[in-house]
Amino acid sequence: MENRLAGKSIKSKYPEIGVCGLSCRLCPGYVMKTKSRCRGCKTEWRLGGPCSILHCAVKRNIEFCGDCEESRACEKWKRHREMGKKYDSFKCYKKLEDDIAFMEKYGLAEFRKSQKVREKLLWKMLDEFNEGRSKSYFCLAATVLEVGELENALAEARRDSKELDIKEKAKLLHSILDRIAVEKKYYLKLRKK
């Protein structure tokens, strides 16, 4: 895929993996079934946006900041990562450092595979347990919890929700995910400034 930005372009095999290391697959804007769905950080729609890290990647013709020769000394990427340790925007940044380390060790293709597993679990939560108000919460859970924890939570919720309406199903899955979060000391809310 090739996208253009002010006369420049970026060739992207992984449009759903942000240049900075964020996974689009678990973003509320990505997991939509409407025409306004974001297709990923490196798609044409996003290239017109204000992301200075993306603009830098286009100039340098790189897919991921970790591939840049200057990545270790890059103040822009460093600031982004430091902010991600404290705050979230509309997307959860809690796993950003872990995801970057994974990509640097195993590569973007393996990261994509791991995120597809999480995305599949997220879609199951959305399709079976979303009462219309849980998308952001389920996106957070799919980002923060381990895959096995998500699978176990879904299995428990399915088992215990056979006779429940959608609101009760959503409440049940929330309670299961909240219980896991307390046990593991996860924080399932966006961290705002």
Residues in the chain: 193
Whole-angstrom CA distances from 162 to 50, 73, 165, 182 are: 46, 54, 9, 25
How do the domains of the chain map onto residue ranges? 2-184
| CA separation for the pair 177, 125 (Å, rounded) | 11
Q: Specify the higher pLDDT residue, 4 or 128.
A: 128
Share the mean pLDDT of the chain.
90
Q: What pLDDT was estimated at residue 57? A: 87
Question: Tokens representing 145?
Answer: 């919890």
Question: pLDDT value at position 54?
Answer: 87
The whole-model pTM stands at 0.90
Residue-wise pLDDT tens digits, 89-142: 888 899 999 999 999 999 999 999 999 999 999 999 999 999 999 999 999 999
Q: Which two tokens stand for residue 157?
A: 């919720």
Phi, psi (rounded to 5 degrees) for 9: -140, 165
120 with 150: CB under 8 angstroms?
Answer: no
Interval 10-53: pLDDT, tens = 678 898 998 999 999 999 999 998 988 888 888 776 676 778 88
Report which residue type is found at 133: R
Per-residue pLDDT tens for 127-173? 999 999 999 999 999 999 999 999 999 999 999 999 999 999 999 99
Nearest to 3 by CA among 63, 66, 47: 47
